[in-house]
Amino acid sequence: MPEGPEIRRAADSLEAAIKDKPLTDVWFAFPTLQPYASLLVGQHISHVETRGKALLTHFSGGLTLYSHNQLYGVWRVVNTGEAPDTNRVLRVKLQAADKTILLYSASDIEMLTPEQVETHPFLLRVGPDVLDMTLTPQSVKSRLLSAKFRNRQFSGLFLDQAFLAGLGNYLRVEILWQVGLTGNHKASTLSETQLDALAQALLDIPRLSYNTRGQADDNKHHGALFRFKVFHRDGEKCERCGGIIEKTMLSSRPFYWCPGCQH
């Protein structure tokens, strides 16, 4: 399943294609959404917001399309009039004069008023988004030390969207490698120095992934690029200590780590 950085980049591509352009055609597969189609024609998309792995497509008239891709949903951008060659089932079409965005295969789709956005069960449950640039390491540290999270093992905590939205498995293992901790640690057992380093890494690594993942490392002047240090690298040498990276299962997900420098 895509994690926060991939969801945000998908939202960026949707915005680049259709933001602020009058909608010329709107189509929904689900009967509960179909009454909104004619209402939205002529409106424009003001912005596409991410809340972890959910997308909120905000329309100029005040309504918001909530969608969660879960395992199979995917958005596509096409030139208006083109139909992608796919076996996926179309759920949503939002068309402007030159570009159209299409949502395939997702089943968790709703239209919300501003009041419903504020009371939506999923949106109420998710924590702050790691790609929200107003979120600070100090706020993350406070969440780590809160009564709700301080005694939970990181292996499960970092997969729980109620803690920080947008984290997932590859980010979980890369963050823990960065700070030299294992999935069995808890915030309540860490030193101040460890907590500070972890709070910083919980923001830095997802943001680095969002900003640079997929770019070729051909210009060193651009600074660090995101690349996996341990994820899917079992059997290889750890670049930090030379130990051999191992793979196990934690919280029912594959977990990669270096026993030589993660204690």
Would you please indicate which residues are annotated as catalytic (active-site) residues?
2-3, 53, 253
Structure tokens at 260: 């030589």
Residue reference for tokens 């294992």 = 182
**Contact yes or no for 63/111 (Cβ under 8 A):** yes
**Contact yes or no for 33/109 (Cβ under 8 A):** yes
Nearest to 33 by CA among 143, 108, 111, 136: 111
Residue reference for tokens 């930090």 = 240
Give the 3-state secondary structure percentages of the chain, helix then strand then coil, rounded to 5: 30, 25, 45
25 alpha carbon, distance to own chain's centre: 28
